[in-house]
Amino acid sequence: MAHSANADFKTRLQNWIPKLVLSPSVAMMLVFVYGFILFSVYLSFTDSRLLPSFGWVGLENYSKLWRLSHWEVSIKNMGIFAALYIVICTTIGLGLAIFLDQKIRGEGLLRPIYLYPMALSFIVTGTAWKWFLDPGIGLENVMHSWGWESFEFRWIKDRNYAIYTVVLAAVWQTSGFVMAMFLAGLRGIDNEILKAAQMDGASNWNLYRRIIIPQLRPAFLSAFVILSHLAIKTFDLVIALTGGGPGRATELPATFMYSYTFSRNQMGIGAASATIMLMTIAAIMIPYLYSELREKR
Amino acid sequence: MSVASQDTAIRTGRITRTLIYVVLILFALFYMLPLYVMLVNSVKPLSEITGGGMMNLPEEFTLEPWFKAWSSAQIGVEPTGLAPYFWNSIKMVVPAVAVSTVLGALNGYVLTKWRFKYDTILFGLMLFACFIPFQIVLIPMARMLGLMGLAGTTWGLALVHVVYGIGFTTLYFRNYYAVFPTELIRAAQIDGAGFFQIFWRILLPSSGPIAVVSIIWQFTNIWNDFLFGASFAGADSQPMTVALNNLVQASHGVKEYNVHFAGAILAATPTLLVYIVAGRYFVRGLMAGSVKG
């Protein structure tokens, strides 16, 4: 009698152990991720300034936010930055992957060179490019000392061009990663189809345009999702490279949120901007993750 | 990713091949450029840089900038160099990587071998948490760390990194264990092995590669983090990235570019070393986080 009760308890315990093991992670996730998201979204509807406060103001923070020229600049910059960053990274990544896929000697040496920037901190990247692009000591100064006196390259100091230096540094950091994604896709393509098409007299150009690149659709999708989410989260790079300047010329939503929340004591507006960032990423990530998880069933 | 070179059907002519090599090498130079700039300028006196010699090899070789960056450069208000911040980062990274990897392994085990209703939804929620813009949690996290008495401490930062790292570690182990034969687990169960016994004796011994992937990914990510460090660290718990930024952005005095470059390399060295030693696993981690696992 006692024996069977004991065994019963043991089986029940065995049934519960997996859930018990998972529970700390689930609890942390529910509190620190989803609880916090709700809290921040709630704050975006309150009059919080230096500290969280719970006076309900409805959509006031949002309407204020969209009237701020500072936010307008951040959004415009985001548009320029994200578009160029995604397009250039994808182009370079695909190009390098196709070239590397031509039985290149030294591929084993080139691949790690293309990819190592991904292992670096954006602060390191920002520092290196900041001084390399600095007209006083960097490229411009070097060209002058090499005798090209009229050479001018001061984008990083120019309000109209500074955002492109952020694109340059960001492309430098991630295009190798995109290359790796496309290369993995290329290596997964069945050679038999290609050989058959070649027999039919298809040129290399047509082979890529008609057969290979269309088959890389999943890689394009992954690259787009990863790059757009990285673009929206870009923060450290701007801080290290330009500090958001000159003036506000390179402010992005992430830097806007940080300065409104922590230096300008406009927590309600900061929370509203964070909410908009989250919504944008959710609109891209949720369908993607949903389809990725569903496919496996 | 599988990068075993294989027979390509594409045939290219001689001129095309030369062009391809030229482009590939030009890009290699582009990717090497910042590393070259940092390295050569970290071992020359300041005057050589300001005199227009940024691209030249050093005329006078000196390790002074390295010593200065490490032990005596002005960071914030104290002339401590980056050394104490380097150790801050180590103290934050080691526990955070260990805890998040162990939790990820256990989660992956449960989610693949002890499936229950709605486990995919739970996993989806964990996965989405990896991609949120962390701006959305900064304000409540600051409050929470204060309430827990961890504000401005290395432990607090480690906790933050565990919380937001679990999603990825769980993803790695889940995808890895998903293809592990479940029959072996069932057989062990029939033999009377319990939950932990099965994990310890059967799954763990073959988890080496994915553990390496997870450790390297977490190490690189946490070491390179700036946002959490800048938001939650106190003056004496700042990680390396925050200290480096303070060093470079300091507005007072002469800008010592050579010291900045040496500092940047110091901040990059741990992750670069890991990349050089185990790049394969790093790339695997990158790919698993983006393409289907």
Domain-embedded: residue B7: no
B129/B224 same-domain check: yes
Biggest CA–CA distance in chain A, Å, is 98
**Joined tokens for residue A212:** 């290979």
Name the pTM for this structure. Answer: 0.90
Instruction: Please indicate whether, in this complex, the C-beta atoms of B12 and A36 are within 8 angstroms of each other.
Output: no
Q: Taking the domains of chain A in order of start, what are their residue ranges?
A: 64-295
B189/B106 same-domain check: yes
B31/B112 same-domain check: no
- Tell me how close the Cα of B165 comes to any Cα of chain A, in angstroms: 10
Region A64-295: CATH code: 1.10.3720.10
Q: pLDDT (tens digit, 9 = 90+) per residue, B50-99?
A: 888 888 888 888 888 999 999 888 887 788 889 999 999 999 999 999 99
How many structural domains compose chain B? 2
B200 contacts chain A (CB < 8 A): no
**Joined tokens for residue B100:** 């998040």
DSSP letter, residue B180? S
Which residues in chain B are contacts of A12 at CB distance < 8 A?
none
Domain-embedded: residue B33: yes
Domain-embedded: residue B50: yes
Q: Long-range contacts made by residues B175-178, C-beta under 8 angstroms, separation at least 24?
A: B175/B108, B175/B288, B175/B293, B176/B108, B176/B207, B176/B209, B176/B210, B176/B293, B177/B108, B177/B109, B177/B112, B177/B113, B177/B203, B178/A296, B178/B112, B178/B293
Range of the domain at B30: 14-62
Chain A residue with Cα closest to B260: A127
Residue among A15, A25, A102, A177 with most chain B CBs within 10 A, to mutate: A25
B128/B209 same-domain check: yes
For residues B225 and B208, give the distance between their C-alpha atoms in angstroms, rounded to a whole number. 26
**Comparing C-alpha atoms, which of A292, A149, A78, A272 is closest to residue B120?**
A292
**Comparing C-alpha atoms, which of B93, B88, B66, B61 is closest to residue B263?**
B66
Name the band, by pLDDT with cuts 50, 70 and 90, for residue B290.
low
B55/B181 same-domain check: no
Residue type, B13: G
B183/B39 same-domain check: no
B172/B236 same-domain check: yes
Chain B residue with Cα closest to A194: B9
B182/B47 same-domain check: no
Handedness of CA B222, B226, B232, B236 (dihedral sign): positive
Domain-embedded: residue B293: no
Instruction: Please indicate whether, in this complex, the C-beta atoms of A52 and B122 are within 8 angstroms of each other.
Output: no
Count of C-beta atoms within a 10 Å radius of residue A151:
14
Q: pLDDT (tens digit, 9 = 90+) per residue, B85-125?
A: 999 999 999 999 999 999 999 999 999 888 888 888 888 89
B23/B148 same-domain check: no
**Mean per-residue pLDDT over chain B, rounded:** 88
Domain-embedded: residue B204: yes
Domain of residue B269, CATH code? 1.10.3720.10
Per-residue pLDDT of chain A (297 residues; tens, 9 = 90+): 455 666 677 777 777 888 899 999 999 999 999 999 999 999 999 888 888 888 888 888 899 999 999 999 999 999 999 999 999 999 999 999 999 988 888 888 999 999 999 999 999 999 999 999 988 888 888 888 888 888 888 898 888 999 999 999 999 999 999 999 999 888 888 888 888 888 887 788 888 888 888 889 888 988 998 899 899 999 999 999 998 888 889 999 999 999 998 888 888 999 999 999 999 999 998 998 888 777 654
B223/B284 same-domain check: yes
ipTM: 0.90
Q: Which of A22, A141, A243 sits opposite B110 (nearest CB)?
A: A22
- Tell me how close the Cα of A135 comes to any Cα of chain B, in angstroms: 10
Residue B292: its pLDDT value, please? 44
Residue among A12, A46, A127 with most chain B CBs within 10 A, to mutate: A127
CA-atom Rg of chain A in angstroms: 25
Domain-embedded: residue B68: no
Q: pLDDT (tens digit, 9 = 90+) per residue, B208-267?
A: 889 999 999 999 999 999 999 999 998 889 999 999 999 998 877 788 899 999 999 999
Residue B9: its pLDDT value, please? 58
Residues 130-159 of chain B with CB under 8 A from chain A are: 131-141, 143-144
